[in-house]
Structure formats: structure tokens, C-alpha cells
Amino acid sequence: MAFIPVPNTVGVRIVHQFLGQPITNTLYVRYPNPPDFTDLTSLAGVVANLWTQHIMNKLSNQAVLSLLSLRDLTTSAGVVYDYSGPPLPVSGAFGGPPCPSSVSAVFSLKTGLAGRSYRGRLYIGGFSEQQTDGNFLLSSVLNALRDGLISVIDGINNANRQVVVVSRYNERQARQTAVTTPVQSVQVRTFRLASQRKRLP
């Protein structure tokens, strides 16, 4: 697949380890100009601390935040940076038997515009059975995670960077240059336990 540039934007891949499997999510952060290596190293520290403070304490103690992998997506030869320094690795807080590695909660990143090009999704996994009630994740857990994600996004955003949704396709046709739209809100997609087959052991 041909590379589609995302101008002035860094992809931040957030990597958890859970029950011997990786669980990854990507946040996209837009700058006013092409980011340099200093931007990536600074952003890595910010995201590591925000994710530790607002997300990890809401997951199973068998979920471990182990790595952030950042890449400037402006060109195919953009700067890359992998971060595993302090405070990583960080474990979750909930004890008890873990849910299967395929179980995830789905959150929608809203931009205030309609259409698939203008919304993103995050799939957060790594839960304890203490956080469930039958086939449902506890509403308190999901609402806390939503609030945590909002705090992460608010903490990343400043005068020089903004969390965005990236659209590389329009009506199944590849764009020559991706479109980025700032995230305005986060919504819980479902309270029912969802299964991601790709995460099955």
C-alpha cells in the first residue's frame, strides 16, 4: 500500500502487554510545522505520564504499558522515536482474574463533523473480571476511562500541538494527502463486552 502523507502529524502508538499479547492504540498529534526529533521526545514523555496517570490505574494489574512508538507521518522517511523510559513499564491497578485478551472497550473520538472520515476509535483492553457484571463492563469503569481519555487529550493539546482524527481514505478511495480534524469529545461506544478476534491467543 502506497504511503499517504499526513502533514505535520505524529502517530503515537501506545503499546500494552496483556496475557502475553500486545494491545496497541494510536493517537495522532498535529503540529503547525513538520515536527522534529525534539518534538517527538517531548511528546513521548508527556503521553507516557498522562497515560500512566489517567488510564493505567483503570486496568488489570496484568496489563503493562511497555512502549510508546512515535513517527512523523509528514513523509515516508519521517523521524521515528521509541520510548520505554520512566515511568515505563507501568502496570494496571485491578487485581483478580483477568478477562480474556480479546475483550475490549470501544471509545469514539468525535470531531463535530459527520461521516467516517471525521471520527476515530480507540480499543482499550486489559481488564479484570472485578470490572465486569455478566456480559457488561461496569458503567463506572467505562465512564472513568472516557474521562481519563479526555484528560489525556486535554493534557497533550497546547498552543503547538493538537490531537486529531486522521482520514487517509474517502469513499474507499485513497487520498493523495490525509485530512486531519481536531478531536472535540470522547464517547463510550458500548457497555457490552466486545471481542476482537485478532487478539485471541
Whether residue 189 is predicted with pLDDT greater than 90 in this model: the reply is no
Total number of domains constituting the chain = 1
Q: Is 93 within the bounds of a domain?
A: yes
Whole-model pTM? 0.92
The answer to whether residue 3 is domain-embedded is no
The answer to whether residue 2 sits within a structural domain is no
Contact 11, 168 (CB under 8 A): no
In which domain, by residue range, is 103 found? 9-199
101: cell is 485478551
Q: How many CB atoms lie within 10 A of CB 146?
A: 19
Mean pLDDT throughout 51-67?
Answer: 97
Average pLDDT across the chain, whole number:
92
Share above pLDDT 90 across residues of the chain, in percent, rounded to a whole number: 75
Q: Is residue 38 part of a domain?
A: yes
* pLDDT value of residue 198: 54
Read off the pLDDT of residues 173-182 as tens digits, 9 standing for 90 and up: 888 899 999 9
Q: Does residue 4 form part of some domain?
A: no
What average pLDDT does this structure show over 116-128?
Answer: 91
Closest Cα to residue 192, out of 118, 116, 137? 137
Q: Which three cell numbers stand for residue 169?
A: 481514505
58 within some domain:
yes
Residue 125 domain-assigned? yes
